[in-house]
Amino acid sequence: MSNKFHMHKSRLEALVDGVFAIAMTILVLEVKVPNIEDKQSASALWHAIAHDGVVIAAYFFSFAMLGQFWVWHHRLTAKIREIDLPLLVCSLCFLALVCFFPFAAALFGRYITNLTAHFIYLPLMGLILATQAIFFWLAMRRDLILDSVSPIQALAAHRNNLFGCAIFMFAFAPTGYRLHGGITIVCILGGAYLLWHVIKLKKMQNQLETASSTKN
């Protein structure tokens, strides 16, 4: 019994908060202070910055994405009792992808019209979503959900995760088409499969709700 690995949630949260705080701040390092010849010229500086306008817009977009991942992760972790080894490995994969995000965001900001940049930025977001969905699914399978969270609530959270992944798959399909039609087909099939699961979970949730309301 003493050999079983388990970790306090608060420790992982401290690392996650730290990594997100730094990843968010590192995003701005890509917005470079321009070099202009006439240091006094307001218009020259303005044009130089406006030229980087896309980079700045991409910064705020990437920040919003990271913010959303952080909130999502915290909402999932709040439902979990304890971290065991598979959950920890999954969390570290999640963090590795989050730490990699500033690079993808920098690439996306600088080459916003380039297909390759999209093909790194978007699938990375998809992978981050996927690790979160797997994280919570593992927690459900391994019975690590807090007792205060009802099965209905756990199912709803899992359903939201899958729904997010499905939405991502459908949104990525047209981008995939620009590289190869096969990617689009895989995306649509994958998204449809996830959506089918979402619907199944919704039904299961409805049945549980009916059952619990009948009981009361």
CB of 187 to a copy of itself, least distance (A): 18
CA gap 112, 53 in Å, rounded: 11
Give the total residue count for the chain.
216
CA gap 122, 183 in Å, rounded: 13
Is residue 103 at the binding interface for a copy of itself, with CB under 8 A as the rule?
Answer: yes
Is residue 209 at the binding interface for a copy of itself, with CB under 8 A as the rule?
Answer: no
Kindly state the DSSP code that residue 7 receives in the 8-state scheme.
B
Is residue 192 at the binding interface for a copy of itself, with CB under 8 A as the rule?
Answer: no
Choose the binding region for a copy of itself from 66-74, 122-130, 137-145, 200-208 (rule: CB under 8 A): 66-74
Among residues 132, 185, 192, the alpha carbon closest in space to that of 167 is found at 192
As to burial, measured by CB atoms within 10 angstroms (0-12 exposed, 13-18 middle, 19+ buried), residue 198 is buried
Whichever of 152 and 195 has its CB closer to a copy of itself, that residue is 152
Choose the binding region for a copy of itself from 72-80, 139-147, 168-176, 186-194 (rule: CB under 8 A): 72-80
CB of 171 to a copy of itself, least distance (A): 19
CB of 137 to a copy of itself, least distance (A): 20
CA gap 79, 154 in Å, rounded: 8
Choose the binding region for a copy of itself from 9-17, 126-134, 190-198, 201-209 (rule: CB under 8 A): 9-17
User: Which are the contacts of 168, defined by CB distance < 8 A and separation ≥ 6?
Assistant: 125, 126, 129, 191
CA gap 159, 172 in Å, rounded: 20
Using CB under 8 A as the criterion, which residues of the chain lie in contact with a copy of itself when the complex forms?
2-3, 5, 7-8, 11, 13-15, 17-31, 33, 36, 39-43, 45-46, 49, 59-60, 63-64, 67, 70-71, 74-75, 78, 88, 92, 95-96, 99-100, 102-103, 106-107, 110-111, 113-117, 119-120, 150, 153, 156
